[in-house]
Amino acid sequence: MPALLSKSLRDYRWTLIGWTIGISAFFGLYLSIYPSIVRNPEVYGPAALAKFPGAMRDLMGGMSDFTSGVGFLQTVVYQLIGPMLLISCATILGNRAIAQPEEDGTLELTLTLPVDRRRLLLARFAGLVLGLLVIAAITFLLVWGLAAAGGMEVAGSRILAGHTGVFLLALCCGTLGLAVGAATGRKMYASAVVGVVALGGYVVETIGRSVDAISWLGWISPFHYYLDGQPIQQGFPVVDYLVLLTATAVLALTAVLAFDRRDVGV
Amino acid sequence: MRCMTAVVETEGLTKFYGDRRGLEDLDLEIRLGEVFGYLGPNGAGKTTTIRLLLDVIRPTRGRMTVLGVDPRDARVRGRIGYLPGELALAGREKASEYLSFLAAARGGVPRERIAELADRLDADLSVRMGKLSKGNKQKIGLIQAFMHEPEFLILDEPTSGLDPLLQQEFLAMVREVRTAGRTVLMSSHVLAEVEHASDRVGIVRDGRLVAVEDVAALREKAVRKVEFHFDAPVPREEFEGLPGVRELRVEGASVRCTIDGRPDALIKAAARHTVVHMVSAEPDLEEIFLTYYGDEETRHARAAVEEPA
Ligand SMILES: Nc1ncnc2c1ncn2[C@@H]1O[C@H](COP(=O)(O)OP(=O)(O)OP(=O)(O)O)[C@@H](O)[C@H]1O
Ligand SMILES: [Mg+2]
């Protein structure tokens, strides 16, 4: 493995380990309560959930049937919490690529290696892709295993489709953070931009759908290209996922160009 | 291949940070095989110059070549070793792992070479980088700058944080590099730190290069403060008007003055009495600025304050 890439992975290592454990623990805890939910339909069934206000249900992706495996998995893992956890992790990794080493001063020495800046940035980006892939793969296996063990009766291919979407969404947001960090050298800007885009995008894609004033914003929300196709229910929304991939590529390219032309550490 | 006598050549090199001037109109030449001391007070523009040469920051205007090429070409950095002035080492990585990474990114450095340098500087490579003391960070910085035996070493305040013994060891390393015909640029606040290893020094102040001098010539010009204490009061007349002696103060059994150039006449005058104690301060850079490179008014003002009328 090239030195720069393995160094990137080493820089990301502790973040990756920490978040893998954290996300796994979270998923493990919530998915293991599924059997008890199935046994109490009067508390969690469609009739009970209908009592929640409409906007609240929109925000949680409908919450139509908590007692079916698909509905439970969607609401607990794939609607909001799973994507947000992975997006947070991706943002931290994206910051570790450029902005953090720039802020703590360690980037200067790396820049004075006989390595083109563009290659350095691509190596950091490749580290982000690989790191997220590892965490996505591990958490996929966990969800898949727990879904099977808990008798949720959701096809593995659907879980794979949902998990792929979460991975692509998180990668897109992480790359956005990386690009802002590469252009400005500031962690705070990167985190703020990703925060606004992720939270705003989620709200626009859920509650916003029924609010005419903002519903047209849907196409700009990264969540649109994950949630709209309902991967857990419908399988891979190929075109939507390609949009996420393309956006990621464009952001990575922007990061390369922006980083290549500016002063570092000022 | 390429005809090269200048390792660094800059022309009108200028850097503004927004409105703030970092460096203005620098014309600098560093010759092949020399050790060039780059001197200046805080905020003078030393680090700015060095970061420009390494393409960490980009000039506002002006032109430069390093080892004959534009520093935008990343390959040239393979021939350079760099010690940053504000060296930051952080994280849980061990120093040895970090050095291995830098070595690999530079296309490989023999393990023994790193071990030998670590041994020489008495550096412990098993410590996590975030836990290194200032001096130990500096040692790691020096190891990575020297390890690949670069043609050109750029060292920004290399001796900061090193104890006197290590400063000596470092200066020995610099001399070896020069003997091998390689080139060094090192910055410092004080002449004393670099004069024993440098061939030439450049003095930068307020973003401008005010002088480039041979070290030998500079030392001739340097003003040093001298103090003599005698066993009995001495007459002022004997010390007045001696060549190079200025700011003379005679108080009872002590004589204080500054000496410019050769101290011979002063020493001989003092030798006529019994000297019990003598202090000769290293010439300080500020003194040279004030004496030779403009700022005449400040000098006169200072002289007026120090010299009792
Ligand atoms: N990132 C920056 N933003 C704004 N001004 C800067 C920046 N870096 C340096 N400067 C300014 O440029 C001038 C030169 O700074 P530089 O760091 O090159 O000085 P220096 O000679 O290395 O000083 P020192 O001995 O303190 O290291 C100073 O006035 C400084 O305030
Ligand atoms: Mg400096």
Q: What is the CATH number of the domain that holds B236?
A: 3.30.70
∠ CA A84-A88-A91, rounded to 5°: 135
In the prediction, which pLDDT does A152 show?
A: 87
Q: Are residues B142 and B17 in the same domain?
A: yes
Ligand 1 lined by B85 (C-beta under 6 Å): yes
Q: Which ligand 1 atom is nearest residue B21's CA?
A: 12
Phi and psi torsions of B3, nearest 5°? -85, 115
Chain position carrying tokens 């229910």: A233
Q: What is the pTM for the complete model shown?
A: 0.86
Question: Would you list the domain boundaries of chain A?
Answer: 3-33+68-261
In the prediction, which pLDDT does B165 show?
A: 92
Q: Are residues B176 and B95 in the same domain?
A: yes
In the prediction, which pLDDT does A68 show?
A: 86
Does residue B48 form part of some domain? yes
Residues of A in contact with B91 (CB under 8 A): 11, 106
Q: Are residues B23 and B141 in the same domain?
A: yes
Instruction: Report which protein residue has its CA nearest ligand 1's atom 30.
Output: B43
Q: Are residues B173 and B197 in the same domain?
A: yes
Last residue of a domain, one of B170, B185, B218: B218
Give the CA count within 13 Å in the CB-facing half-sphere of A248.
24
Pocket test for ligand 1, best of B15, B17, B28, B38 (most atoms within 8 A of CB): B17
Using CA atoms, how far apart are residues A62 and A72, in angstroms rounded to an integer?
11
In the prediction, which pLDDT does A125 show?
A: 98
Segments in chain B below pLDDT 70: 1-4, 219, 282-309
Residue pair A31/A78 in contact (Cβ under 8 Å)? The answer is no
Q: How many domains does chain B have?
A: 2
In the prediction, which pLDDT does B296 show?
A: 44
In the prediction, which pLDDT does B301 show?
A: 44
Does residue B111 form part of some domain? yes
Q: Are residues B114 and B182 in the same domain?
A: yes
Pocket test for ligand 1, best of B15, B47, B286 (most atoms within 8 A of CB): B47
Residues of B in contact with A262 (CB under 8 A): 58
Question: Which residues of B make CB contacts under 8 Å with A?
Answer: 17, 51, 54-58, 74-80, 82, 84, 86-93, 97, 101-102, 104-107, 144
Q: Are residues B16 and B111 in the same domain?
A: yes
Using CA atoms, how far apart are residues B146 and B106, in angstroms rounded to an integer?
12
CB-based burial, B241-277: b 16+ in 10 Å, e otherwise = ebebbeebebeebebbbbbbeebebbbebbeebeeee
Q: Which ligand 1 atom is nearest residue B45's CA?
A: 18
Residues of B in contact with A116 (CB under 8 A): 74
In the prediction, which pLDDT does B307 show?
A: 44
Does residue B164 form part of some domain? yes
CA B291 distance to own-chain centroid: 19
In the prediction, which pLDDT does B2 show?
A: 47
Using CA atoms, how far apart are residues A36 and B77, in angstroms rounded to an integer?
63
Using CA atoms, how far apart are residues B221 and B214, in angstroms rounded to an integer?
11
Last residue of a domain, one of B187, B202, B218: B218
Q: Are residues B76 and B198 in the same domain?
A: yes
| Interface with chain A: mutation pick from B15, B20, B56, B99, highest number of A CBs within 10 Å | B56
Residue of chain A minimizing CA distance to B79: A114
Residues of B in contact with A261 (CB under 8 A): 58
Last residue of a domain, one of B173, B192, B218: B218
* CA dist A57 → A49, A76, A203, B92 (Å): 8, 13, 12, 44
Residue B156 Cα to ligand 2 middle (Å) = 7
Using CA atoms, how far apart are residues B189 and B202, in angstroms rounded to an integer?
12
Residue pair B64/B11 in contact (Cβ under 8 Å)? The answer is yes
Residues of A in contact with B144 (CB under 8 A): 109
Ligand 1 lined by B48 (C-beta under 6 Å): yes
| Interface with chain A: mutation pick from B15, B16, B50, B51, highest number of A CBs within 10 Å | B51
Using CA atoms, how far apart are residues A81 and B77, in angstroms rounded to an integer?
46
Q: Are residues B46 and B195 in the same domain?
A: yes
**Interface pTM, i.e. ipTM:** 0.88
In the prediction, which pLDDT does B291 show?
A: 61
B74 and A116 in contact by Cβ < 8 A?
A: yes
Residue pair A133/A153 in contact (Cβ under 8 Å)? The answer is no
In the prediction, which pLDDT does A48 show?
A: 72
Q: Are residues B274 and B212 in the same domain?
A: no
One pLDDT digit (tens) per residue for chain A, 266 residues: 689 999 999 999 999 999 999 999 999 998 988 888 888 877 777 777 777 777 777 777 766 677 788 888 998 899 999 999 999 999 999 999 999 999 999 999 999 999 999 999 999 999 999 999 999 999 999 999 999 998 888 999 999 999 999 999 999 999 999 999 999 999 999 999 999 999 999 999 988 877 877 878 888 899 999 999 999 999 999 999 999 999 999 999 999 999 999 999 88
Does residue B137 form part of some domain? yes
Q: What CATH number did the domain enclosing B127 receive?
A: 3.40.50.300
Q: Are residues B115 and B151 in the same domain?
A: yes
Does residue B250 form part of some domain? yes
Pocket test for ligand 1, best of B26, B46, B187 (most atoms within 8 A of CB): B46
Q: Are residues B253 and B129 in the same domain?
A: no
Rg of chain A over CA atoms, in angstroms? 20
Q: Are residues B211 and B228 in the same domain?
A: no
Domain region containing B241: 223-282
Does residue B287 form part of some domain? no
